[in-house]
Amino acid sequence: MSAADAGGTEAAVLRDRVVAKVPASTANLGPGFDTLGMALSLYEWIDLRPAAETTITLYGDNLEGVPRDKSNLVYEVAQAVFARAGREVPELAIGIRSDIPLTRGLGSSASAIVGALVAANALIGDPLSADTLFQMATALENHPDNVGASLFGGIVAAAWDGSRAEAVRFDPPAGLAALVAIPAFELSTKHARNVLPREVPLGDAVFNVAHGALLTAALATGRLDVLKHALRDRLHQPYRAALVPGMETILREAPDHGALGAVLSGAGPTLLLLAEAGAGRPGELERFVTEVMAAEGIAVSLRWLEPCLDGPEVRAISVHEPDYGREPHQVLAARGREVRA
């Protein structure tokens, strides 16, 4: 536990600049609703500097509509860190770059929350522990799967009882690749949750408990052959299918075209198709997804990604260093690579 967490004192640190690079995440993985998450090789950068007046600079094409004032999520989360640590840094120069599309089911808000938490904590000398940051992130996001994956990397199995979150992280199976099919429309998490029933039949609940346990064991032990069956869900995907035309066909038939299985990524609308790198039929799988969605009148963007094993990469930069004036994504390059099955 850090000194600040324990109520102790330590020398006040205020760094000149901190840049954090945070991975995207996919949540649920089918039956693991609000429980399972996996980090992906797509990134968001959060850049914080103490300033005389708060400014917010947005980089890239995925941040349309993001506030440029103190209502910005990154500013609010950073201030929560300072308050928790007993520090005051009221004005910040904030830079945000994101390669993660907003409201598409790839954890853009979780990445922003985690990035703001770790960057703000680093700016004042890292007084808060990783567990404290995880608890704060979960409370802000209201579920631990996306934030857990972005904070710890790899795959996380997590639970939150409304007061405390716990997470167990493990490495994804070697050779696992992910094709993300990103439709050209947004779907808010709130809307996607509103279509879910408050109660489900006992049989469906048992089905999900069984398949969630099977999926976790399969991923932890590398049993890729089990994924076709383990990825099935009755708790949320059937109710959200109407929100993503073509989804039911893709989830049902993807294994016939070279995938290990397919799920709705988070609340959607992105679809996640898992495959074995170097052993699948990537061209056939891409054509299948594109044609199914085109038949519904929906254009999709396809990207092959790999699981990201690490959580945030953080760098503190002195005003005297040559990199101080560089943009966030130049300070910390996106080292993850795109892969093909």
Q: How far is it, in rounded angstroms, from Cα 96 to Cα 90?
A: 18
Burial group, residue 197, by CB count within 10 angstroms (0-12, 13-18, 19+): exposed
DSSP string, 228-255: HHHT--SSSHHHHGGGSTTHHHHHHHGG
Q: Is 105 annotated as a binding residue?
A: yes
Q: Is 101 annotated as a binding residue?
A: yes
Q: Is 107 annotated as a binding residue?
A: yes
Q: Is 163 annotated as a binding residue?
A: no
DSSP state at residue 214: H
Contacts by 294-300 with C-beta closer than 8 Å and gap 24+?
295/246, 296/245, 296/246, 297/245, 298/183, 298/184, 298/185, 298/245, 298/246, 299/183, 299/184, 300/181, 300/182, 300/183, 300/184
Radius of gyration of the chain (CA): 20
Q: Is 148 annotated as a binding residue?
A: no
CB-based contact 272:233 (threshold 8 Å) = no
CB-based contact 140:158 (threshold 8 Å) = no
Share of the chain residues as helix, strand and coil, in percent rounded to the nearest 5: 35, 25, 40
CB-based contact 78:118 (threshold 8 Å) = no
Q: Is 103 annotated as a binding residue?
A: yes
Q: Is 153 annotated as a binding residue?
A: no
Q: Is 301 annotated as a binding residue?
A: no
**In 3-state terms, what secondary structure has residue 105?**
coil
Please state the φ and ψ torsions of residue 130, each to the nearest 5 degrees: -60, -40
Contacts of 1 (CB under 8 A, 6+ apart): 129
Q: How far is it, in rounded angstroms, from Cα 322 to Cα 136?
A: 34
**In 3-state terms, what secondary structure has residue 69?**
coil
Peptide bond into 127 cis (omega under 30): no
Write out the binding residues for ATP: 101-111
Write out the binding residues: 101-111
